[in-house]
A and B are shown apart, each in its own frame.
Chain A
Amino acid sequence: MVLVKERQLAVSISEQAAQHGLHPVGVRPKFGEYIKAIIKRREFITVLASSKAQAENQNTYLGQIWAILTPLLNSMVYVLIFGILLKTRDGMDNVIGYIVVGTFIYGFFSSTVTSSAKSISGNLKLVQSLQFPRAILPISIAMKEMFVLLPGLVIMMVISQIAIGVIQGSEAIHPERWLLLIPALVMLFLFSSGVGMILARYASRIPDINNTLPFILRIGMYASGVIFSIDRWVEHPVLQAIMSYQPVAVFLNLARQAVLAESNIPLDWSKWALGLGWALVFFIIGFVTFWKDEARYGRE
């Protein structure tokens, strides 16, 4: 009897609430509404991204110079170790250009994934203070990494083109292809934020993911041909195919098509189609995955 009574009471409360236009707390919004709410706050995404990019190197004496210095030093280290000391340069026409493009592009992917995974735990104050669609966080973090990458891209272009000019001669420089870097980066952005959103969901539940990520990203670096040529060093045909057609390797290939003059990496439109496919698939899967758990982010 008591149970029945309680039940009736509960029903009447939810009915009353609906009558007065109240909605239940902590329920995931519908997919369409969610996208609408994000589009309505598109300015929020860019402002958050640019603010975070500015804050990045704030606590150092050199400040924003680090945005250029960090990737520059990074690629110099790899060129020194892999290009000069270990001589893994077989299969590349221009070891400096090859490694520099690889480290800058992979650096973007790796830092986007690392910081997206922390997008809920690292912004807990913001999440707990204000209600907004949480997918804005991983997306704006990916955008922030893009902003941080831009000055580095200038350095990447300067070094790689000088290297091509010196090693391969000025006729190997193709300025008309440079614009292709833009679609390549847009695709990489979509892909990375897709991966970031998937990780953000699970890392908000299992913080230990953040501890394993550096190792996975390091394996990813060697499995994607960032600093050596997959065609030259991986002999097993199936393994070679998997390694060359997986998304990260494809995006590296696209960036190299745009910037370098490697005889092994000719302009190949089928790779661009593949890149676009990877980008869309991962972005959509990531977005839906993230949205599924929307009601839980920031809740204890």
Chain B
Amino acid sequence: MDDEFDYEIDPEDLPQGTPTRGELGAPSVMVNDLHVTYKVVGARKRGATPVKDNMLRKFLRRGKNLTGGYTEIKAVQGVSFTARHGESIGVIGTNGSGKSTLLKAIAGLLQPSQGEIYVSGIPSLLGVSAVLMRDLTGERNIMIGGLALGLTRQEVEDRFDEIVEFSGLGDAIYLPMKTYSAGMGARLRFAISTAATPDVLMVDEALATGDAAFRERSRERIDEIRQHAGTVFIVAHSLASIKAMCTRVIWMDKGVIKMDGDPQKVTAAYRKYTKDSATK
């Protein structure tokens, strides 16, 4: 599954204050009893201890291991919630708790094994691996990304300077994207995806790779999207940045929602839980 970043963030780098809380609008995302099961093709669960078998069985088992088969992983097991226009929701939880899977399912990238998801507009998911087309320049990627989002060529050209400025890439925009660092790619993807103000934006760890200046710019952009009645989901391991950017926090644990509500309360409970399990 995805790599997870766990960056230390200096307190002075953090955007100050808490996000402004406006009136909550109508629902923008509704998730009802969502279950997601991964099928990992070509990997088979094996017992930790070898089984004693006769030669033929051994041979057969070995053959089985070589020719695919699959393992099932239950990543999300019964999640229900409603998000509203103008909310920014932080999703926290330990590695492998199902945060990224939940967002992928909302973005329509995973087939739920059970349950329903309803969204308004086209949800946009920003992940850690942010490269669209490796071999092409950042400039070309902006054009391709913009056109794919349904903008016209003219609209992309009009917004081009703004996108480049926001990404802070400067002349690197004319280099192939494979030469970018993870942070540079994430910045450009964030700039492209927010160029056409999305109804539902999901940011999965993509901000962790940015530097302090970019985090501040992206916090402002996220606030802007919320004020335009968008909904933003943010997965991050830094509780401080979650508190700075979110109006609500969902805590995922082993594929279910453990707590959902006020950022201060949920992060406090989560911190206590992680401390307890660390000292165990």
Interface set of A (CB-CB < 8 Å, partner B): 9-10, 13-14, 16-17, 20-26, 37, 40-41, 43-44, 47-48, 51-52, 54-55, 58, 123, 125-126, 128-132, 296, 298-300
Contacts and interface: CB of A to CB of B under 8 A. Distances in A.
Contacts of A51: 133, 136, 140, 143-144
B132 A299 contact: no
Contacts of A128: 109, 125, 127
A125 B32 contact: no
Given A23-B118, A25-B106, A52-B133, 10 more contacts: A22-B29, A22-B120, A25-B119, A51-B136, A51-B143, A54-B136, A128-B109, A128-B127, A129-B126, A300-B109
Interface stretch (B86-94, B148-156, B217-225): B148-156
A43 B189 contact: no
B125 A129 contact: yes
Nearest to A44: B147
Given A47-B143, A130-B145, A22 B150 contact: no
A20 B125 contact: no
A14 B108 CA distance: 17
Contacts of B189: 129
Interface in B23-56: 26-30, 32-33, 38-39
A86 to B, nearest CB: 39
A22 B28 contact: yes
A55 B133 CA distance: 10
Contacts of A23: 118-120
B122 interface: yes
B108 A20 contact: no
B25 to A, nearest CB: 9
Contacts of A16: 27, 30
A17 B193 CA distance: 25
B120 A21 contact: yes
A17 B144 contact: no
Most buried by B among A25, A47, A58, A126: A25
Interface of B: 26-30, 32-33, 38-39, 105-112, 116-120, 122-127, 129-133, 135-136, 140, 143-145, 147-150, 152-153, 176, 189, 193
A43 B117 CA distance: 31
Contacts of B108: 25-26, 131, 299
Contacts of B131: 125
Contacts of B144: 44, 47-48, 51, 126
Contact of A55 (B105, B110, B136, B150): B136
B109 A22 contact: no
A238 B193 CA distance: 57
Nearest to B141: A51
Contact of A299 (B110, B123, B140): B110
Nearest to B38: A300
B32 A13 contact: yes
A47 B132 CA distance: 14
B160 to A, nearest CB: 13
Given A41-B148, A132-B150, A20 B120 contact: yes
A205 to B, nearest CB: 11
A17 B118 contact: yes
Nearest to A37: B150
B110 A300 contact: yes
B197 to A, nearest CB: 15
A43 B32 contact: no
B118 A14 contact: yes
Given A20-B27, A47-B153, A51-B140, A10 B111 contact: no
B153 A43 contact: yes
Given A44-B148, A125-B132, A24 B118 contact: yes
Contacts of B30: 13, 16-17, 22
B71 to A, nearest CB: 13
A129 B134 CA distance: 14
A22 B136 contact: no
Nearest to B154: A43
A296 B111 CA distance: 8
Contacts of A129: 125-127, 130, 132, 145, 189, 193
A270 to B, nearest CB: 41
A298 B26 contact: no
A58 B137 CA distance: 12
Contact of A298 (B105, B109, B140): B109
